[in-house]
Structure 1
Amino acid sequence: MFRIPKGKRCSGPVRQTPVLLMPGFIVDSDSWLDAGPSSSLAFLLADACYDTWAGNVRGTEYGRRHVRLNPDTDSQFWDFSTHEMGKFDVPAIIEYILNKTRSNAVNYIGYSQGARILYITCSETNACDRVKVFINIAPGVRLKYYRSLPLRLFLKFYALTLPLLKRPEDFEVFPRGGVLQTLGSIICKDNIFAATICKAALFLIDSFEPGSILTETVKALYEHTPAGASAKTIALYAQNMDSFSKYDYGPEKNLEVYGSRVPPEYMLNRTRMPTVLIYGRNDFVADPRDVKWLSLQLPNVAELYEVNRPTWNHVDNTYSQFIKQLLFPKVNEYLLKYSSLRNN
C-alpha cells in the first residue's frame, strides 16, 4: 500500500477522512499514477488536499508476501479469488489506514475489480461500517453484457477447460516479469509502437477510444501491466458472467463448502453506505446495462452518473488525459460531501 499524505499543490488543510483507491484486475496501485501528475486520479486527489492511499490485493506485484507461503514455490498461495480479497484483504487495509491516521472512517474509490471486492467485503464482513461513501468507477460486478469478443471467448473457453484441470485454483497467471509483460514493456518503449500497436492492443479488451490516452501513459501502462493474478480469479470471472456469486467448486464440494449444491450469491443489499456509480457509454467491460442493473440491487444509491464523453471506455478511467476534466469533478463532489477537515 502506498500513501500520498499531501499533494504538492495542496495549499490548505488536509481533509481528515482518508481516501482509499483500489485498482482493477491484473493491475496494481501503479495504475493510479501512470497517467502522470496532471491526470492521474491519485495525484489529483492529493493535490486537492485528500490523504490519499493506493491499495493492492494479494497476487499482484505488491501483494506477494505471506507469513508462511512462498508464491514462487507454494501453489497453495494461489488458492484465492476476489472472495478472499474482499473478505480479508480490504478489511485489513481499512483497519491499517484507520489505525495509522486515527480516523474513524475512510472514503473508498474502487475501479472495476476494486469496486467488486468492496461489495464482497460488505456481504461477508462488518468492515463497510467504516466506509463513509463508496465511489464505483466502472464496477466489475456482473458482466452479462461484456462486449469484448476476444475476452468473452477466452473466458468461455476457460470455463469449459476448468473441469479438465486437476486443481484449477493453484497457479499464477499474467505475472509482472513474465513473458507477456516483459515483451510488452520492451516493445512499447518505442514511441512509434506505443502510439500504434500497443495502443491498438488495448482495444482488444475494450472499445475503440481515439486520442484519449497519451503515448507516454501507454508506455507506463505496459511497464506495469499485467501485474499478476491467480487462475482462480479468472475462473470466478468466467463463472460469474451472468451472476455475482461465490466460487463454484461443483455440486459435491459446494455442498461441503457452502451447505448447498449451488454457490450462494453475494448480498448486495448489505452495501448500505451512500454509493455512487460512474460509467462510460463506450465501456465494453463494465457495460452500462450491467452498471444500471447493479444500481437497482443497492439500497442507497446516491447517483448513477455517465461520464460526459460518448467514447469514454473502461481503460480511460485510470489512463485518460481527460480524467481531470471528466472524472475528477464528480469524484471530488462526493468526497467533499463526506470528508471533514483537519489542520496540518
Structure 2
Amino acid sequence: MPVVNMTPKGTLTSNILVVISIAAVFYAITFPIKNVTRKKPGNQENIVFNFTQMTTQNGYTSEEHTVVTEDGYILRIFRVQGGRKCDGKRRSLPVLLMHGLLLSSDVWLDAGTDNGLAYLIANACFDLWVGNCRGNYYSRRHETLDPDTDAKFWHFSVDEIGHYDVPAMVDYVLDYTGAEKLNYVGYSQGASTFFIMCSERPEYCNKINKMISLAPASRQFNTALNPYRLLLRLFALGHQYLRAMGVEEVLSNGAFLQEFLAYACEAYWTSSICNYGTSVLIDSYHPGSVTNETTKIMFKHFPAGTSLQNMVRYGQSAISPDFQKYDYGKDINIDVYGQETPPKFNLSAVTTPVVILYGKNDALVSVKDVKWLVSKLPNVIDLVEVKDPLWNHLDVAYSQYIGEMLFPKIFEHLVTNSIN
C-alpha cells in the first residue's frame, strides 16, 4: 500500500488557521471605532477626564509636565503637589510612580481617593510625580516621527523604555525640584524598566534613594498558562503577519477592543461580568477585591496602548529563563548586539536598595519568578508577601484594599532612609 504524505495539506490548514487568528487579533487590537457615543449611567462623567481633571475634581492640586528623551520621544508626566489630607510640610524626597504594561498614569486614580496609590502617596505629603512611558495615549508624540505614519516610532520595547524614558523622567524630576535623589515606585513593567535602566546605565542607581517594586516583571518564565500567556505567544509567533499588515501600534485606547469593553462594562450588571472575566482571563480570581465601580472606570483607560514590538518582547520573556534583551533573530542580533543571541541584563548592577512586594495569587508575575529575581539582585532590603493569600497582579492597581494591604509597607519605606 502506498504511503500518502498528508503534511502539505496539514501545513496549509495550519497556516490558514494562523492567518485567521492573526487577522482576528489584528481587528480587535487595532481597528478604531469612530464617533462612538457612550451613555454614562449615574454621575460618572469624571471617568473620561484626563489625569489633572480627575485629581482636581477630587480636591487635589496637579500639574502637567513634558519630558523629552534623548531619542526624541515626548512624554507627559504629572505632579501631584497637594494631597487633600496632607496637613503637614511636604516631605523632602520626591517620589516617581511608574505604571505597568498597557497602562498609564490614570491607573493610579482608578481605585478612588481612598485606595488609588497616587491619592494615598499625595495624602502622605510627598511630592509625587506620575510618569507615562512612550506609546500610551499620554506619550504618543515625538520630535520628528509621526506615530500615525512612521513605523519607526513604534520600534521599541521595554528595553528602550528602560534605557531612555525612565532616565529622562528621573533627570527631569531631580532638575526641576533640586533634589539630589528621589524614591522610585514601579509596578510590573514599571519595575522591570528600572532594572533595565540600572543595568544599562548604572550611574542612575546613585540617583535613587530607594526603589519600591510592586509585582516586578523581569522574566515571565513561570507565568500561568492562561489567555494572557497565549496572547503573548500569539504576538511572538505571528508578529511578522501583523507587520505585513502594517500593524505597529497595538491595544491602543480607541481601538475596537478598548471601545467595546468601555461601552459594554458601563452598566452595573455588565460591570460585574467584566470584573469576573478580567480576573479569570488576565489574572487569577480574587472575589470582591476590585469593585464593579472601579471596573467601569478602568476600561476607560485600559488598555492604554503600546508597540507590537513590546508585546513580542513580553512573548519572548514568557519562554526565556533569563531576563534578556529583545530577540531580533540570529542574523539581526549579530548586527545589533554583535552576537547571535540577545544579551542578558546585568541585574548585579542594580545597587539601589530594593524593596519587593508581591502577591501569592499573582498569575502574571509568579512567586517563582519573583524569587528568581531576588536571587539576582544584590541589594534587596525587604521582600514582602502581601498578607491576603488571594492578592493578585491587578490588585496592585485596582483593589479596594490597597490602602490596607499595600500602602502601609510602601509608606514605611518611603519615610525611612535607604540602607547603603
TM-score range, shorter chain: over 0.9
CA RMSD of aligned residues (A): 1.5
The answer to whether the aligner puts 1:331 opposite 2:407 as a matched pair is no
Within 5 Å, give how 1:302-313 maps onto structure 2: 302-313=381-392
Question: Which one is further off, 183-192 or 154-163?
Answer: 154-163
Query: Cα deviation per residue 1:60-85 (whole Å; 9 max; x = unaligned)?
Result: 01111111111111111001000110
Deviation at 1:188, TM superposition (A): 1.2
Query: Cα deviation per residue 1:38-70 (whole Å; 9 max; x = unaligned)?
Result: 111110010011111110000001111111111
Sort the Cα spacing of 1:129 and 1:191 in 2 relative to 1 into closer, same or farther, 3 A. same
- What's the counterpart of residue 342 of structure 1? none
8 A contact 1:280–1:306 mirrored in 2: yes
Deviation at 1:227, TM superposition (A): 0.4
- Match of 2:110, SS state, is coil
- Match of 2:92, SS state, is strand
The answer to whether the aligner puts 1:294 opposite 2:370 as a matched pair is no
Deviation at 1:200, TM superposition (A): 2.1
8 A contact 1:162–1:168 mirrored in 2: no
- What's the counterpart of residue 178 of structure 1? 255
Query: Mind listing any 5+ residue stretches in structure 1 that lack a counterpart?
Result: 340-344
- What's the counterpart of residue 229 of structure 1? 306
- What's the counterpart of residue 117 of structure 1? 193
- Match of 2:94, SS state, is strand
Within 5 Å, give how 1:86-97 maps onto structure 2: 86-97=162-173
Deviation at 1:99, TM superposition (A): 1.2
8 A contact 1:148–1:285 mirrored in 2: no
Consecutive aligned runs of 4 or more in structure 1 exceeding 6 Å deviation: 167-170
Alignment partners' CA distance in 1, 2:364 and 2:116: 21
Alignment partners' CA distance in 2, 1:185 and 1:331: 31
Within 5 Å, give how 1:235-314 maps onto structure 2: 235-241=312-318, 242=320, 243-314=322-393
Higher relative contact order (CA 8 A, sep 6+): 1
8 A contact 1:78–1:169 mirrored in 2: no
8 A contact 2:396–2:406 mirrored in 1: yes
Alignment partners' CA distance in 1, 2:317 and 2:228: 14
- Match of 2:82, SS state, is coil
- What's the counterpart of residue 25 of structure 2? none
Query: Cα deviation per residue 1:168-205 (whole Å; 9 max; x = unaligned)?
Result: 99700011011111111111111111122344233201
Q: Which amino acid in structure 1 is aligned with residue 79 of structure 2?
A: R
Alignment partners' CA distance in 2, 1:206 and 1:261: 34
Question: Which one is further off, 22-31 or 152-161?
Answer: 152-161
* Paired residues, number: 339
8 A contact 1:29–1:54 mirrored in 2: yes
TM-score (norm 1): 0.95
- Match of 1:304, SS state, is strand
Query: Mind listing any 5+ residue stretches in structure 2 that lack a counterpart?
Result: 1-76
The answer to whether the aligner puts 1:140 opposite 2:211 as a matched pair is no
Question: Which one is further off, 64-73 or 194-203?
Answer: 194-203
Q: Identify the match of residue 9 of structure 1 among 85, 103, 109.
A: 85
- Match of 2:127, SS state, is strand
Q: Which amino acid in structure 1 is aligned with residue 184 of structure 2?
A: Y
Q: Identify the match of residue 205 of structure 2 among 93, 103, 128.
A: 128
Q: Which amino acid in structure 1 is aligned with residue 112 of structure 2?
A: G
Q: Which amino acid in structure 2 is aligned with residue 275 of structure 1?
A: V
Percent identical residues: 43
8 A contact 1:60–1:229 mirrored in 2: yes
- What's the counterpart of residue 52 of structure 1? 128
8 A contact 1:78–1:170 mirrored in 2: no
Q: Identify the match of residue 103 of structure 2 among 17, 27, 32.
A: 27
Q: Which amino acid in structure 1 is aligned with residue 383 of structure 2?
A: L
